[in-house]
């Protein structure tokens, strides 16, 4: 890839400074190198922030329609490069090329741009309130820190509203998923966004995150990542009173009500959990099942896992690709071992790689049953193809188990009546709830309670994260 060893700063590709360090990009399906990126040092971070700072005043004054026209131009070029984006995502993090990468991962980035465009056109940037005019203005220079599991989904749900709001930015994508971010930088460069509005550096999150979060020239930090990363960003940003938006982890409960179409509900829950190789913060990772139906749920789950093809992301019939990197593969393996040590019943899967897939970071779709909420596998986010089943006595017990978690990102309820499922949803302490297999919708807010984060992304709610509110009081 052209310019893979360069950063995008102040409207052009630039060589890293002397203190930047090389980082090999590994294809998780082959364990072979895809190339080398450089991890930014202090001088690179400083240059990117300063470019964004210098560009802010001019870009913030740009009329809304001009900013939205820029976003539309980016969308058009993005559309023309969907195949390139899908290929990059598949190579960097292992999503099945012809399925998940092409049909969901790459298009989600474009979907967020469209949702932002619609939200911005209807948004009340200025409104009367009594004798005052309330204005919503660009929040400033934004540090955008994104993960490897849904690369363009997470990048574009920050970049698009930042542009629409009139902010300038420094994007720090995951060093494990730099290829798709590189394609986006090429798209933005071709679209001709003003110099300094969009800047991109690669970097180690633990090293670069604190530099971005603590710098007084940065006004907003928007991070998607682990709770540990969220706590670090919050602490580093505190001294300069930055606006901080955090989309963190989850351990979402999937409550299957006693009257649900049981086979349909269990099949959907297992398949949803294994989607993206289980590497989704909102995955339904805790399946809550009536105690008297636990054995039936186990049998259904085992059959579903047997039917899911784990394999090369390039194969058209692959459903589950590899885990995105070696570090995460090792964590998933250790958590499966922990589940067995804790005494959970292994229904299917287990440690090790599937037969015939010795090369690549492939994991076996795994289901544990007879799990309780005191077990580590029920409390910690595993972030791999591992589902845990917990029995419950009645609906009150199910709600209590679901809410007994440090996390509160998402929830799932499956029942014969969607109205009854909605009553259970109202009792869950989560930022989102899916009823009877309902899918996400980009205009609706994404985010959670408790350790799952602060603030919301997507649509109108995502746009608001990049705006400040000003009251202008008139004498008459």
Nearest CA among 220, 146, 189, 221 for reference residue 8:
189
pLDDT in tens, 208-242: 999 999 999 999 999 999 999 999 999 999 999 99
pLDDT in tens, 300-314: 999 999 999 999 999
Residue 3, pLDDT > 90, answer no
pLDDT in tens, 400-417: 999 999 999 999 999 999
Assess whether the region 7-248+452-473 and the region 253-441 belong to the same CATH fold. no
Average pLDDT over every residue of 107-121:
97
What does the alpha-carbon distance between residue 57 and residue 239 come to, in Å, rounded to a whole number? 24
Structure tokens at 119: 């939200």
So what CATH class is 253-441?
Answer: alpha beta
pLDDT in tens, 164-198: 999 999 999 999 999 999 999 999 999 999 999 99
* Half-sphere exposure (Cβ direction) of 433: Cα atoms closer than 13 Å: 19
Residues of the chain with pLDDT > 70, as a percent, come to 99
What does the alpha-carbon distance between residue 280 and residue 284 come to, in Å, rounded to a whole number? 9
What does the alpha-carbon distance between residue 170 and residue 12 come to, in Å, rounded to a whole number? 14
Average pLDDT over every residue of 354-361:
97
pLDDT in tens, 93-104: 999 999 999 999
Question: What confidence score (pLDDT) does residue 95 get?
Answer: 98
Domain 7-248+452-473 CATH assignment equals 2.40.30.40: no
Is residue 266 within 8 Å of 288, Cβ to Cβ? no
Taking phi over 0 as left and psi of -120 to 50 as alpha, with beta for the rest, 104 belongs to alpha
Residue 2, pLDDT > 70, answer no
Residue 423, pLDDT > 90, answer yes
The reported pTM is 0.96
Is residue 208 within 8 Å of 172, Cβ to Cβ? yes
pLDDT in tens, 440-465: 999 999 999 999 999 999 999 999 99
Question: What confidence score (pLDDT) does residue 431 get?
Answer: 98
Q: What is the mean pLDDT of the chain?
A: 97
pLDDT in tens, 272-303: 999 999 999 999 999 999 999 999 999 999 99
Q: Any idea where the domains of the chain sit in the sequence? A: 7-248+452-473, 253-441
What does the alpha-carbon distance between residue 412 and residue 286 come to, in Å, rounded to a whole number? 10
CA distance from start to end of the chain:
61
3-class state of residue 135 by DSSP: strand
Residues of the chain with pLDDT > 90, as a percent, come to 98
**At 4, is the pLDDT very low, low, confident or very high (cuts 50, 70, 90)?**
confident
Structure tokens at 118: 């619609």
Residue 401, exposed/middle/buried by CB under 10 A (0-12, 13-18, 19+)?
A: buried
Q: Which residues are catalytic?
A: 247
């Amino acid at each position: 890839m052209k310019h893979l060893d360069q950063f995008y700063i102040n409207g052009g590709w630039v060589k890293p400074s002397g203190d930047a360090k090389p980082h090999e990009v590994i294809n998780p399906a082959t364990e072979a190198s895809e190339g080398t990126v450089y991890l930014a040092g202090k001088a690179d971070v400083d240059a990117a922030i300063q470019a964004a700072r210098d560009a802010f005043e001019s870009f913030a004054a740009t009329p809304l329609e001009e900013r939205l026209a820029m976003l539309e131009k980016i969308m058009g070029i993005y559309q023309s490069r969907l195949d390139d984006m899908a290929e990059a995502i598949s190579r960097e993090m292992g999503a099945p090329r012809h399925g998940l990468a092409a049909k969901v991962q790459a298009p989600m980035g474009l979907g967020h741009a469209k949702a932002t465009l619609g939200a911005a056109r209807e948004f009340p940037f200025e409104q009367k309130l009594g004798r005052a005019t309330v204005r919503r203005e660009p929040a400033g220079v934004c540090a955008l820190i994104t993960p490897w599991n849904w690369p363009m989904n997470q990048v574009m749900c920050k970049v698009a509203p930042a542009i629409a709001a009139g902010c300038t930015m420094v994007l720090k994508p995951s060093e494990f998923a730099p290829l798709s971010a590189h394609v986006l930088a090429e798209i933005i460069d071709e679209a001709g966004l003003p110099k300094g509005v969009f800047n991109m550096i690669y970097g180690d999150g633990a090293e670069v995150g604190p530099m971005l979060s603590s710098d007084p020239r940065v006004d907003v930090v928007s991070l998607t990542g682990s709770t540990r990363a969220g706590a670090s960003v919050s602490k580093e940003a505190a001294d300069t009173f930055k606006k901080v938006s955090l989309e963190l982890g989850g351990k979402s409960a999937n409550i299957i009500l006693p009257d649900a179409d049981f086979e349909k509900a269990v099949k959907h829950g297992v398949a949803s959990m294994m989607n993206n190789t289980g590497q989704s913060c909102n995955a339904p990772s805790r399946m809550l099942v009536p105690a008297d139906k636990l054995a039936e749920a186990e049998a259904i789950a085992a059959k579903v896992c047997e039917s899911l093809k784990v394999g090369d992301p390039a194969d058209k019939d692959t459903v589950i690709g590899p885990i995105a990197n070696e570090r995460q593969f090792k964590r998933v393996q250790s958590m499966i071992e922990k589940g067995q040590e804790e005494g959970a019943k292994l229904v299917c899967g287990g440690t090790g790689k599937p037969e015939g897939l010795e090369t690549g970071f492939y994991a076996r779709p795994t289901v544990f049953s007879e799990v309780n909420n005191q077990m580590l596998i029920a409390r910690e986010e595993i972030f791999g193809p591992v589902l845990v089943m917990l029995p419950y006595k009645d609906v009150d017990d199910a709600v209590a188990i679901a809410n007994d978690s440090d996390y509160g990102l998402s929830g799932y309820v499956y029942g014969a009546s969607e109205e009854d499922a909605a009553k259970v949803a109202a009792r869950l302490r989560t930022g989102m709830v899916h009823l009877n297999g309902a899918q996400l919708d980009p205009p609706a807010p994404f985010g959670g309670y408790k350790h799952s984060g602060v603030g919301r992304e997507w649509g109108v709610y995502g746009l608001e994260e990049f705006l400040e509110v000003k009251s202008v009081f008139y004498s008459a």
